[in-house]
Structure 1
Amino acid sequence: MTRTAPVALTVVDALVLPCADDGPEWFFGWLQVGADGRIVGLGPGEPPADVPAGEVLDADGAIVAPGFVSAHSHLFTSGLRGIAPDSTLYPWVRSMMELFRHTDAEDMYWASLHGATDFLVNGVTSAYNFMQSGVTWLYDPRTARNVLGKVHPDDYTTRQMDGVLDAGLRVVHSIRLDDESGPEDQVLTRFARMVDAARDPSRTAGGQLLGVSVMGAVQWASDPRTAELEVLVMREHGISDQAHFVETAEGLDVQREKFAWYAEAGALGRDLLLGHFVHPTDEMVDAVAEAGSPVVWQPTSNGRLGSGVADVVRYRERGVPVGVGLDDQSCTDISDPWANMRQGLYGQRALHRDAGVMSPRDVLRMHTLGSAEVLGVADRVGSLEVGKHADFVVVDHRSPSTGPVWDVVATYVLACGLRNLRATYVGGRCVARDGRATVVAAARADAELAVRIERAAHADGRRLAVTAEQLVDAAARRAR
């Protein structure tokens, strides 16, 4: 492909893995980035000799591939890795929500910034982010009802937006409607304020905002009106909705019954994404396939929480679009997209007892371009193509060595991992290198998070195994 605009950065001597549907699957060559952070050219061999190269990044034969897209994430949970380690979904969620009753807006800023920089350090450049609700709910699975924990001010939500954007991650902000927390007019007015805040020009510079969405809450709701109101705000604000659905085997009959609430409200369709979708009935799969609703798959999270194995092969055979997410740091623990791909790939092969049901190419596409497609942002991210944001990773498959390369895609998916990741670029700008984020605020994030989460834990009557003081002191010693 040829250059179409002035060049700010030229990547040379790269093993390029575009993850695009058109063109070669891989090639040794170059990639160029314009001043606006978008790809202006790429191709095999050497870049055009008559074009000023701008800054030059010599990949020295390493793999250059698109940054991963996490189509389902909860970045505010970055301080809760290892929490409730032997729990299934409902007690695990309860453990987190009891703690978050004791957090404020600045706590959520640092938790979100920490989670977003963690994604970038691990090669994820775009994420659908379920923000912690402006209302802390304590769900009771015995009654299938929410118990109101605490109502927070607006900045509890908006500071989460700021934390993700300050880290440099591209994001779809997902906002819960919280319709059961008060009169409908007040709930809708607050939701509209949050949508406006997300779209404020001060928060959209640089193309980091990919969109706004509803955090679908029917799984937790007590009345079909929740589905109706979600459809109302989807249409009023021109946004999507992603719902956690039939994620766990706990209370499965109640979960399945609530699917009809979405169907009867007219929610099914391209703009209603179904997160997890581990335990649907045949009728639910038929309805989703007919309506074109995408499914978003979290293989590592589903394993960590003992939720089950979603039959993604079955969904894809029915023509259901599928994206992939890393979910919470508190239930995926390590935000490792390579491990996430392998967990999913191997689980599907084991489920079907057939290694041919899903390939490394399939799962790589789902975690990049496929995730971008289900989020409706594939025109901007998900693959290395002219006109898209120059969001990419530099992965050295030779250090540590993965050995001879029989198949480039198979080596990348099956043999590479975080140990091979050298750098992450967003818009042609390096945001992480050798396991460290480059954003200035990242230097404070570890200490801020440790102190703030410990304070919330103490307020809830809990103690951490390693204190914030011990963590901060250890980090300071390493830095000296």
Structure 2
Amino acid sequence: MTLPVARLTVVNALLIPVSDTGPDWFHGWLTVGADGRITGIGPGDPPAVAGEVLDAGGAMVAPGFVSAHSHLFTSGLRGIAAGSTLYPWVRAMMEVFAHADAEDLYWCTLHGALDFLANGVTSAYNFTQSRVTWLYDPATASNTLGAVHPTDYLTRQFAAAADAGIRVMNAIRLDDEAMPEDETLGVFADMVAASAELVPTDQHLGASVFGAVQWAAGPRTAQLEAVVMDRHGLIDQAHFVETAQGVDVQRAKFAWYADAGALGPRFLFGHFVHPTDEMVATAAAAGAGMVWQPTSNGRLGSGFADVVRLREAGMRVGIGLDDQSCTDISDPFANMRMGLYTTRALHTDAGILMPRDVLRMHTLGSAEVLGVADRVGSLEVGKFADFVLVDHRAPSTGPVWDVPATYVLACGLRNLKRVYVGGRPASVEGRCTSPLAADADGELHARITRAARAAGLDPAL
């Protein structure tokens, strides 16, 4: 076998490729080319060793996690509104961010992105904080305008994800109810272009529509989202029927998307906790997907998303870590287990969802629903060499009876030793390699504290 010259050769690895072809795991090797993509992978020893050599020492090497639903800017508000459901919790956050400026959002997003990388998340779908801060009242199902910021409020978030080194898809909200339609569409187009300009090509997984019909006053928002999906060739991910609060109002808005022609393979429902049978059947028939947030749904008391029901209907499912202020620890291992265990409990069936299923959903499945599975989500030749090194022996998890089961059920952040993006180390022993990491904590604390105090909220520490 003749391989391209490797920049990095990984040897002595217990590989879990999460590929739909080949075995679930094997002892072997992986090579990375100069472009940061995988050039070879296989069992045993590599045909040749070149470039830098990473001896995994028998540790597990698996794809970096893909969070298909994230809000990176919330990294400074963990523990906020600790007993609140969705809408009071969101309002508590938005009252703070109404007093934040573009540089505050840069450091909040940078901190969130570095936190993801430190915890093995190498790709993220990122709902950016809109330059329009809305305060939603579920009692009246209406928005109150909190603040309107310049466009750099958004572009600095793009720059932060780029500077952190994470692969990112930037979701952009239309905010059509805050400005004339021509301006809405023009600003949106400018932000789509800025996302591609500010994020290096290999890091940029694309732009997306931040679906906002759940909070809209009328069907025009759905129509405009469909327009920009087609105009710019984008996917749309909409928060939908996430919470039991006002669920009848939320469900009624499903028809707005259907009537607008938005539903299809490029449409994703984020959460989709409380859909009717008719909604599930319609979404599945259209080819729409769903992104599951097990930890945040539990933290906010939103309810349980029955992914077994959705998958049986034919919907594709990915997994996201959602807001860092409602998962509190950006832990993909805990996120998988939370989803796995609660699903088994709901169905009183320990075999209804397996470790392989949730691992695939949080890697390749998430890449598939986002339309980027040609680049990330599994360890296969031609894809980016984004991987984690997880040592199940440090601390020891005991004998390994089932490799994917040990990885999902018994390993966690304590076993995560290294994170690689494009074959280059992004985190070692929980510490990011980015030179900006040294400043991120201090900047975040100072900036989010100032914004919170302006909103009348003082942190305890």
Query: Shorter-chain TM-score: which interval?
Result: over 0.9
Distance, in Å, in 2 between the alignment partners of 1:262 and 1:134 is 24
- Which ranges in structure 2 are unaligned for 5 or more consecutive residues? none
Counterpart of 1:158 (choices 138, 147, 155) is 155
| Deviation by residue 1:382-429 (Cα, 9 ceiling, x = unmatched) | 000000000000000000000000000000000000000001000000
Distance, in Å, in 2 between the alignment partners of 1:375 and 1:161 is 18
The sequence identity of aligned pairs, in percent, is: 71
Structure 1 residue 173 corresponds to structure 2 residue 166:
no
- Which ranges in structure 1 are unaligned for 5 or more consecutive residues? 467-480
**Secondary structure at 2:87's aligned position in 1?**
helix
Distance, in Å, in 2 between the alignment partners of 1:231 and 1:443 is 42
User: Is contact 1:3-1:40 (8 Å) kept?
Assistant: no
User: Is contact 1:3-1:41 (8 Å) kept?
Assistant: no
2:456 counterpart letter in structure 1: G
Structure 1 residue 195 corresponds to structure 2 residue 185:
no
Distance, in Å, in 2 between the alignment partners of 1:266 and 1:146 is 25
**Secondary structure at 1:73's aligned position in 2?**
strand
Equivalence map 1:225-236=2 (5 Å): 225-236=220-231
**Secondary structure at 1:92's aligned position in 2?**
helix
**Secondary structure at 2:91's aligned position in 1?**
helix
Structure 1 residue 281 corresponds to structure 2 residue 298:
no
**Secondary structure at 1:461's aligned position in 2?**
coil
Counterpart for residue 15 of structure 2: 16
Counterpart of 1:115 (choices 112, 115, 119) is 112
Structure 1 residue 360 corresponds to structure 2 residue 359:
no
Counterpart of 1:75 (choices 64, 72, 75) is 72
Distance, in Å, in 2 between the alignment partners of 1:218 and 1:35 is 43
**Secondary structure at 1:78's aligned position in 2?**
helix
Counterpart for residue 373 of structure 1: 368
Number of matched residues? Answer: 461
Counterpart for residue 200 of structure 2: 204
2:355 counterpart letter in structure 1: P
Shift of 1:142: 1.0
Structure 1 residue 126 corresponds to structure 2 residue 123:
yes
**Secondary structure at 1:127's aligned position in 2?**
strand
| Deviation by residue 1:133-170 (Cα, 9 ceiling, x = unmatched) | 11000001111011101111010000000111100100
User: Is contact 1:105-1:159 (8 Å) kept?
Assistant: yes
User: Is contact 1:162-1:203 (8 Å) kept?
Assistant: yes
1:112 counterpart letter in structure 2: T
Counterpart for residue 89 of structure 1: 86
Counterpart for residue 34 of structure 1: 33
User: Is contact 1:31-1:42 (8 Å) kept?
Assistant: yes
Counterpart for residue 99 of structure 1: 96
| Deviation by residue 1:306-346 (Cα, 9 ceiling, x = unmatched) | 00110100111111100000000000000000000000000
User: Is contact 1:165-1:208 (8 Å) kept?
Assistant: yes
Distance, in Å, in 2 between the alignment partners of 1:404 and 1:185 is 63
Shift of 1:203: 2.4
Structure 1 residue 426 corresponds to structure 2 residue 421:
yes
Structure 1 residue 240 corresponds to structure 2 residue 235:
yes
Q: Which consecutive segments of 4 or more residues in structure 1 shift more than 3 A?
A: none
2:321 counterpart letter in structure 1: L
**Secondary structure at 1:72's aligned position in 2?**
strand
**TM-score (norm: length of structure 2):** 0.99
**Secondary structure at 2:264's aligned position in 1?**
coil
Distance, in Å, in 1 between the alignment partners of 2:189 and 2:221 is 16
Distance, in Å, in 1 between the alignment partners of 2:351 and 2:70 is 29
Distance, in Å, in 1 between the alignment partners of 2:264 and 2:457 is 43
CA separation of 1:292/1:3 partners in 2, compared to 1, >3 Å: closer, same or farther?
A: farther
Equivalence map 1:263-282=2 (5 Å): 263-282=258-277
CA separation of 1:3/1:388 partners in 2, compared to 1, >3 Å: closer, same or farther?
A: farther
Distance, in Å, in 2 between the alignment partners of 1:113 and 1:35 is 26
Shift of 1:33: 0.2
Distance, in Å, in 1 between the alignment partners of 2:2 and 2:358 is 31
**Secondary structure at 2:53's aligned position in 1?**
strand
Counterpart for residue 477 of structure 1: none
Shift of 1:53: 1.2
Equivalence map 1:317-356=2 (5 Å): 317-356=312-351
Structure 1 residue 216 corresponds to structure 2 residue 211:
yes
Shift of 1:3: 5.3
Distance, in Å, in 1 between the alignment partners of 2:236 and 2:114 is 25
Counterpart for residue 246 of structure 2: 251
Structure 1 residue 438 corresponds to structure 2 residue 433:
yes
User: Is contact 1:242-1:274 (8 Å) kept?
Assistant: yes
**Secondary structure at 2:7's aligned position in 1?**
strand
**Secondary structure at 2:425's aligned position in 1?**
strand
